[in-house]
Structure 1
Amino acid sequence: MGWLFYTDRRVKTYADEKAEVTRLCTFETDSRKTVLVKASKVGSTWYAAARVTSLDGSPVEDATYVTDEDGSITFGAVFLTRYDDGCWGYKDMEESAGPVESRAPPGLLGLLSELKDPDSYAHAWRQRCRDWAAIPDYQEGDRIRLAAPMTLTDGSTCQIVTATHYRRGRQKRRCYRIEETAGLVRLSKDTLAGSELVSSAKGGSSPVLAEFLAGQES
């Protein structure tokens, strides 16, 4: 399915977006009813868990999902969203239909029904979401070992870095100091997947943190 934009501009706020996602996940067919269980927005993407029940009370049979004990199934959905000239638009996908965005919170994933095929796209999507959630939120001064050496634009590599920051105007931007060269590099959160904490700024004196604090006092 492609993008659908609301040219009447009735969707303007976070609350408007959530109400629309709720409406889109709430409907009935001749035999089934679907309702939203939970929706979470990460960046510009909405992630939803929607429960399907049979109108006659019989267990829901589905090729993708294992029926839950209460006879229902709960599936994951992804809503890409953006504004174009003030008009809100969305593109929706069920989790088994190939969404690339994979930052659904663990609490939402925990509501979804089990999958019948462990090699399905939905299974891989859920694992990518869990991998994203597992990436640590490192603090100023933490010393980190990347999962594998990373090649930089100048051809050099680095694997041990220390979390620090630089300033651009009034904004403080996260960056990392390369242990081998003391140079600074920006790393995306994806790059930190599989990394490990070598030493914590909380556990002892950190040269980077000390330098930062000294700058604040001067």
Structure 2
Amino acid sequence: MGWLTMPFASMGGHPTAKAYLDDQFTYTREVDGGSKGLRVLASSCPQNRTYYAATQVMTNGVGGEIFAIVCKVHWCPGSKTGEQFGYKDMEESMGPCEDDCPQSILDLLTPTNNEHAQDWRRRCRARLERRSRKIEDGDRIRLETPLKFVDGHTGSEFIVEKRGRRVSFRDPETCQRYRITGFRDLAWQLVPVTKVHKTIFA
């Protein structure tokens, strides 16, 4: 589907994209001999950019298949045409490029034979696994693909420097420090190094 855009006034009083889309994807419709609908069991909208939801098919009030809905979200408060909020919705069976779905939502989904949905779930779990990798101060890492920085330097190996929550990367040859945007999503591995520990005298 394409983008659906609207002014904030058309969001039915819902203050966030998550609240509005939860409402849109939870509904019941009367059909011959009963009712059909959807129910959002859990949802998330990280950084108000992409909405992910575990959505259950409801038939006559009974829950069935649980699949994922993914929506790209657009915010433009200053729009002169009134297109202040917009979204583009997709089902996981369409194989969305967006693959930052939280673990809690993935765990609710029922098994599927759809290849596009299976591939999307694998990509989401692979991304979660990459982000869960731990690094410590002093670790040496090697990037699968070298990065080029604004100062002209290109490098693939760096020493990790952690100062609280702040993480920077020092080139082992030049000692120059760099910030690597999106580091958790990059392909990298630890390089074995010998760490020298301080000697403590009794």
* Common topology (TM > 0.5): yes
Q: Determine what percentage of the aligned residue pairs are the same residue.
A: 26
Structure 1 residues 78 and 142, CA gap change in structure 2 (3 angstroms): farther
Q: Distance in 2 between matches of 1:22 and 1:156?
A: 45
CA contact (8 A) 2:40 2:55 kept: yes
Structure 1 residues 184 and 155, CA gap change in structure 2 (3 angstroms): closer
Deviates more, 1:145-154 or 1:84-93: 145-154
2:26 aligned residue: 26
CA contact (8 A) 2:160 2:167 kept: no
Q: Residue 74 of structure 1 is aligned with which of 66, 74, 96?
A: 66
- Cα displacement (A) at 1:17: 2.4
1:102 aligned residue: 99
- Cα displacement (A) at 1:98: 3.0
Secondary structure, counterpart of 2:101 in structure 1 = coil
The one-letter code of the counterpart of 2:100 is R
* Structure 1 residues 36-47: aligned runs within 5 Å: 36-43=40-47, 44-47=49-52
Secondary structure, counterpart of 2:113 in structure 1 = coil
Q: Residue 163 of structure 1 is aligned with which of 161, 164, 177?
A: 161
- Cα displacement (A) at 1:11: 4.6
Q: Distance in 2 between matches of 1:15 and 1:142?
A: 44
Structure 1 residues 13 and 116, CA gap change in structure 2 (3 angstroms): same
Q: Distance in 1 between matches of 2:143 and 2:166?
A: 23
> RMSD in angstroms over aligned alpha carbons?
3.4
Runs of at least 5 residues in structure 1 that lack an aligned partner in the other structure:
58-70, 166-171, 206-218
The one-letter code of the counterpart of 1:46 is Y
Q: Distance in 1 between matches of 2:14 and 2:37?
A: 26
CA contact (8 A) 1:22 1:36 kept: yes
Structure 1 residues 56 and 48, CA gap change in structure 2 (3 angstroms): closer
- Cα displacement (A) at 1:132: 1.9
CA contact (8 A) 2:45 2:51 kept: yes
Q: Residue 108 of structure 2 is aligned with which of 92, 111, 132?
A: 111
The one-letter code of the counterpart of 2:170 is R
Q: Distance in 2 between matches of 1:196 and 1:39?
A: 34
TM-score (norm. length: structure 2): 0.72
Secondary structure, counterpart of 2:104 in structure 1 = helix
Q: Residue 125 of structure 2 is aligned with which of 111, 127, 130?
A: 130
TM-score (norm. length: structure 1): 0.67
Structure 1 residues 24 and 141, CA gap change in structure 2 (3 angstroms): same
2:171 aligned residue: 178
* Structure 1 residues 198-209: aligned runs within 5 Å: none
Residue by residue, what CA displacement relative to the aligned partner does 1:157-190 show, whole Å, maximum 9, x if unpaired?
Answer: 323431347xxxxxx9643112233222332235
Structure 1 residues 78 and 122, CA gap change in structure 2 (3 angstroms): same
- Tell whether 2:87 aligns with 1:90: yes
CA contact (8 A) 1:81 1:90 kept: yes
Residue by residue, what CA displacement relative to the aligned partner does 1:12-35 show, whole Å, maximum 9, x if unpaired?
Answer: 998532221111211235353210
Structure 1 residues 97 and 146, CA gap change in structure 2 (3 angstroms): same
